[in-house]
Structure 1
């Protein structure tokens, strides 16, 4: 359920707020860091502490019972004047938790000692947290609204929701089991891909030497030792790792945030890279469970890139970024996944095959009779400046540059898909000359490779560009009536649901049709049961803007499919094979 953060003014309506420095003064830094990692240990979904009463009961001791009761009364009064009921509000907010930890790590002096009483510590640290909620949620919304009003900007429901959701979507919306499975598989695929290339051998050898491991299997096994602490969490709290072996400590030290450098970044880039910190000689604490899992694959490219940059020119892998985004992500991973899902049925052409046949071909092509699926794959990221900007136009401009048309006017994913559709409808596709043009139905699919793009509203915004561009074909006299809406699928969702798709619990074809009908072409007039209030209307519209990942993950589970993890176990078994 959609949640709203409780801010400072809700808890202390008549109190002038102080600064984070003041609230966090007089408290030992190690205790503050422990508290910061405690907040980051809360579940992002179905947390016990999402309930405000449970949170206040957990956070405050009996000596602060009157203080906590006053806060609760203030919150009830605040909610009475807002649009949503109390059940929509909670105190913990992952972005505030990350900013709290970073502030403590960077700005609290190492020598700071405790001078406040326990009663004062509970009150002041709570105030610090809800102050961050005020800054990261309430004031962000105020600034965004101000920009919109000053520039007379009118947003569609999809644009409005995208502005609200995109900047924090990858931090607050994830499933641990899905994240771990896909991060592990992608890391394994990446190492296998690099190992098959002669020009990457020097890089891999330098990587193994730096981390003091025998090979990538040894590296992933040791990394699993770190991540396992997150997977085995049995309560919502901070996670500690205690080690005795010097070898393990040397390995984990290379993944630790250093006290010698600041970790504050607009989008938490340094915490993503080093999501642990060392608090005693042989003891470590996980800063972010999310970033700890994501360092398996998401952080791997950046660790390899750093080592590649230090290699002599004769050993350096040239075009290392393009190697990853194009040859690995777009050709190796996507082709492997789709070939497994579609099996040996239908007409299928991978991007590497098509590139040798025709310029401007899609990254993958499948035809089953009159049904064609065309894929464009883009392994891209959005800059932290655009992602975190208060001005929605910054985000949409960068999305257009990377997914519609770049600064030089070169077509990107949306325009590339439309051009492929033009060629199909004109009978120009030489790699499949037997298309039944009078009956053909075309499904355009955009594959993206990072979870940040699973933001509510994004598919609808991109599809609007696609539909607008598609009308150019109609103006050319082409029949576009059997061209379907563009659907965005992130590669991890494809990977996570691969077995269910192979077993045809649901087909890609039917999933695309259903998502198009009930989401991209949602019509309030057809809603059953009929909404009885504006709140129910808003909820239906909001649900219709959810990403394909949300739809397909839940759809497959509602169909009764039980994910066995068999594919993951088979992939992981290679780490333990005897050489």
Structure 2
């Protein structure tokens, strides 16, 4: 087994998804009416190509793609914008014939709306909105304006996946969230007043851009560029006292001591 294969098969899926992602999301959606881990879909039907995690809560459907990825060192060091953009495209949209997070989300949303997930307990007509979410496992991607780029690519992916105009009305724009934010704030993301869809809606409204007649975005403030992690950290601390959960303390304590 090559080094890259070991990382992808053993480390990436074995820890990032099967352990960390599922544990945290199951905490957030503890009282969800339906949850589905990607490993269960793969075990039942290896050719289905399902997303990494689905959950229904608060009348909505949440669909996740988890990506434990890195940007090549030489691209980061040179910081040449066209090359960096191309690298991000390869990581988040498509690399050759390999679909990445944005396109995978669009294609799986198409499956959901066509009823192909009904055998797993997800009936399309039951949900008000669908929230597509990309989970990354590196703070490198908490970068200003990256989410705007992903939203643009997600629109393109929805067209490529064949989603109709009527189906698009049920979709919220894609949001990128790092696993640390989900882990640290997991207790608050499951509460009614600060649940995940509530915070995503607030974030999207806060960072929404308006465009002029030529299609050029009008930026009022750099605050419109902030990543979801920065928004959530500021918003939650402004509305309540944030404490580290007992579960997180008990999990980390034996590791660091």
TM range (shorter): 0.7 to 0.9
For the aligned residue pairs, the C-alpha RMSD in angstroms reads 2.7
Task: Give the Cα separation in 2 of the matches to 1:457 and 1:384.
Answer: 21
Q: 1:473 to 1:440 in 2, by over 3 A?
A: farther
How far is the alpha carbon of 1:541 from its aligned partner?
3.3
1:517 aligned partner: 205
Match of 1:480 in 2: 168
Distance in structure 2 (CA, Å) of the matches to 1:439 and 1:576: 42
The residue matched to 1:375 in structure 2 has which SS?
A: strand
Q: Deviations over 1:122-150 (max 9, x none)?
A: xxxxxxxxxxxxxxxxxxxxxxxxxxxxx
Match of 1:112 in 2: none
- Report which of the two structures shows the higher radius of gyration computed on alpha carbons: 1
Equivalence for 2:23: 336
Deviation at 1:349, TM superposition (A): 0.7
Q: 1:498 to 1:477 in 2, by over 3 A?
A: closer
Point out 4+ residue stretches in structure 1 off by more than 3 angstroms.
430-434, 472-478, 502-505, 522-525, 564-569, 572-577
CA displacement at 1:567 relative to structure 2: 3.9
**Alpha-carbon spacing, 1:482–1:575, altered in 2? closer, same or farther (3 Å):** closer
Which SS does the other structure have where 2:51 is aligned?
A: coil
Which secondary structure state, in structure 1, belongs to the residue aligned with residue 167 of structure 2?
A: coil
- In structure 1, the residue matched to 2:64 is 375
Q: Does 1:468 align with 2:156?
A: yes
Q: Secondary structure at the match of 2:168?
A: coil
Secondary structure of the structure 2 residue equivalent to 1:338: helix
TM-score (norm 2): 0.85
Q: Is 1:554 the equivalent of 2:218? A: no
- Of 40, 57, 61 in structure 2, the residue corresponding to residue 353 of structure 1 is 40
Count matched residues: 247
- 2:80 equivalent to 1:400: no
For the structure 1 residues 505 and 368, does the alpha-carbon distance in structure 2 shift closer, same or farther, using more than 3 Å as the test?
A: closer
Alignment map for 1:371-520 (pairs within 5 Å): 371-406=60-95, 408-433=96-121, 435-437=123-125, 440-473=128-161, 479-504=167-192, 506-519=194-207
Conserved? CA contact 1:354–1:431, under 8 Å: no
The whole-number CA distance in structure 2 between the counterparts of 1:503 and 1:410 is 37
Q: How much has 1:370 moved relative to structure 2?
A: 4.4
The 8 Å contact of residues 382 and 398 in structure 1, kept in 2 or not, is answered as yes
**Following superposition of structure 1 onto structure 2, how do residues 239-388 of structure 1 map, counting pairs within 5 Å?**
319-358=6-45, 359-368=48-57, 370-388=59-77
TM-superposed CA distance for 1:480, in Å, is 1.2
- Would you say the 8 A contact 1:377–1:446 is kept in 2? yes
Deviations 1:182-229 (A, max 9, x none): xxxxxxxxxxxxxxxxxxxxxxxxxxxxxxxxxxxxxxxxxxxxxxxx
CA separation of 1:431/1:553 partners in 2, compared to 1, >3 Å: closer, same or farther? farther
Tell me the CA shift for residue 410 of structure 1.
Answer: 1.5
TM-score, normalising length: structure 1: 0.40
Mark the CA change 1:524 to 1:414 in structure 2 (over 3 Å): closer, same or farther. Answer: closer
Match of 2:243 among 560, 563, 566: 563
Per-residue deviation, 1:494: 0.8
Structure 2 distance, partners of 1:517, 1:382, is 29
* Residues 505 and 556, structure 1, Cα contact 8 Å, conserved in 2: no
- Aligned mates of 1:471, 1:499 — CA distance in 2: 36
CA contact (8 A) 2:34 2:122 kept: no
- Are the structure 2 counterparts of residues 482 and 383 from structure 1 closer, same or farther at C-alpha, using a change threshold of 3 Å? same
SS at match of 1:498: coil
Which protein has the bigger strand share?
2
What CA distance in whole angstroms lies between the structure 2 residues aligned with 1:508 and 1:321? Answer: 28
**Residues 496-540 of structure 1, C-alpha deviations (whole Å, 9 max, x = no match):** 112322455510111111112221x24489xxxxxxxxxxx85x3
Structure 1 runs not aligned, ≥5 long:
1-308, 310-317, 526-536
Instruction: Measure, in 2, the Cα distance between the counterparts of 1:437 and 1:547.
Output: 31
Greater RCO (Cα-Cα under 8 Å, separation 6 or more)? 2
Q: Is the 8 A contact 2:51 2:108 kept in 1?
A: yes
1:574 is displaced (CA, Å) by: 3.3
Deviation at 1:342, TM superposition (A): 1.1
Instruction: Show structure 2 runs of 5+ residues with no match.
Output: 213-217
